Amino acid sequence: MARHESTLPLKMLLFCFHGANTIIVSFLPLYLQYRGLSGTEIGWVMAIGPLIAIFSQPFWGYLSDKYQTVKRILMLCLIGLLISSSVFLQLASLPLLLTLGALFFFFAAPVGALGDSLSQRRADQLGISFGSIRTWGSIGFAVSTLTIGELLSVIGIQYIVWPYLCLAFACFIVSTRLVDVKVETAPVQLKDVRLLIKKKPFVIFLVLITFITISHRANDSFIGIYIASLGGGEDLVGIAWFAGVASEAIIFATAGYWFKKFHPLIFIIGAGLLYSIRWYFYAIFEDPMFIVGLQFLHGLTFGVFYLTAFQYVTRVIPNILQSTGHLVFVSVFFGFSGIIGSLFGGMVIDSLGGGSLYFFMGLLTTIGTILMLIYHWLPFGKS
């Protein structure tokens, strides 16, 4: 009983944060479109978050390792997130959106990654599945997409700030009850970070996954706009995200039963193949209901890919640099890939339309999957 109670605040943190993050991922592009921004301009705003994340996530991860606390770093980030979001989510001017967006994402970007890092450590400490904790983030995302989508369709997308602040404040309250994990090693020094760079499997792996994660991040930024362009409203966008993240939650919740059956890279390659099929189908269908119907593939693509990639990274990085390594991985997954996905996606959807964007995403993912298969065949891909 105590084992489950000790993880309850962490589960609630993930539930509340990913519930709040739903609003940024699913509805911020629609809010920006309401404010009169073009697809390219929306791409710039959505790219500022991943750009800042590249620097802020390793920075906060390093501080977490140095001072051997995830809890206090999370609380600090959440305070900054609350203050900055109250301004950012009410702006309409592109220069102000980029400026305040940079400040907002500096604090917001590390929260999910630090939560996942703490989840991985607590799972290892308690001998339970990482997915059994992480699934609560997916449940929070799924519940929020459905409820917030319905709410915004009634009150209007312009009031996006209020549900966000409610969920973010709940996240901060829960963070005060977290159980920290102490690492039985000397505090990390800046020179120790070089150990990550020397880990060839880690570095090569990060390069290769970008072919897949760029497409994932482009979808995050533009699926709402794509569904709207096909005739769907905010409520349908919410249902689409709910369907996708509900399937993701099932994957995380059942990870303890299927994860260790094969090498993590086998699952990653399989997820990459399904990503390709998913994007090609999205490019073909012109009825928004078909897009919603295919959202169950989100669990079999992102759910499997993220969980197994996170576990693989944990295997190949030194224990002393767990938070730093995890946040570098997330910086590539959501940061670097997010910049390219948002900017490239914005330009393509403006000039060629959503169908062409998803076709290019399918091609990119196919290339990444083939490269990942080659990586697994090579000696350093056996780690």
The Cα 302–Cα 134 span in angstroms is 13
The Cα 200–Cα 212 span in angstroms is 20
The Cα 131–Cα 252 span in angstroms is 4
b/e map of 117-147 (b: 16 or more CB within 10 Å)? bbbbbbbeeeeebbbbbbbbbbbbbbbbbbe
Task: Give whole-number Cα distances, 284 to 94, 277, 345, in Å.
Answer: 33, 11, 17
What pLDDT sits at residue 192?
64
Q: Which long-range contacts (CB under 8 A, 24 or more apart) does 191-195 make?
A: 192/318, 192/320, 192/321, 193/62, 193/321, 193/324, 195/318, 195/320, 195/321
Retrieve residue 100's tokens: 């305040």
The residue behind tokens 């301009």 is: 41
pLDDT tens, the chain, 383 aa long: 344 457 999 999 999 999 999 899 888 988 999 999 998 899 899 889 888 988 887 788 888 878 888 899 999 999 999 999 999 999 999 999 999 999 999 999 889 888 988 898 888 888 888 888 988 998 898 888 888 888 988 899 999 999 999 999 999 999 999 988 765 555 555 566 677 777 888 889 999 999 999 999 999 889 989 999 999 887 888 889 889 988 988 988 887 778 777 888 999 999 999 999 999 999 999 899 999 999 989 989 998 998 889 888 888 887 777 777 887 888 888 878 988 998 899 899 999 999 999 999 999 999 999 999 999 988 765 55
Are 144 and 18 contacting, i.e. CB atoms less than 8 angstroms apart? Answer: yes
Are 281 and 332 contacting, i.e. CB atoms less than 8 angstroms apart? Answer: no
- Closest by CA to 11, choosing from 253, 191, 247, 214, is 253
What pLDDT sits at residue 4?
45
- Closest by CA to 177, choosing from 16, 362, 50, is 16
What pLDDT sits at residue 381?
58
What topology is assigned to 2-180+188-382 in CATH?
Growth Hormone; Chain: A; (1.20.1250)
Task: Give whole-number Cα distances, 23 to 26, 96, 154, 336, in Å.
Answer: 5, 19, 15, 21
What pLDDT sits at residue 2?
42
Are 333 and 208 contacting, i.e. CB atoms less than 8 angstroms apart? Answer: no
The Cα 199–Cα 209 span in angstroms is 16
The Cα 58–Cα 326 span in angstroms is 9
Q: DSSP readout, 114-147?
A: HHHHHHHHHHHHHT--HHHHHHHHHHHHHHHHHH
The Cα 212–Cα 197 span in angstroms is 22
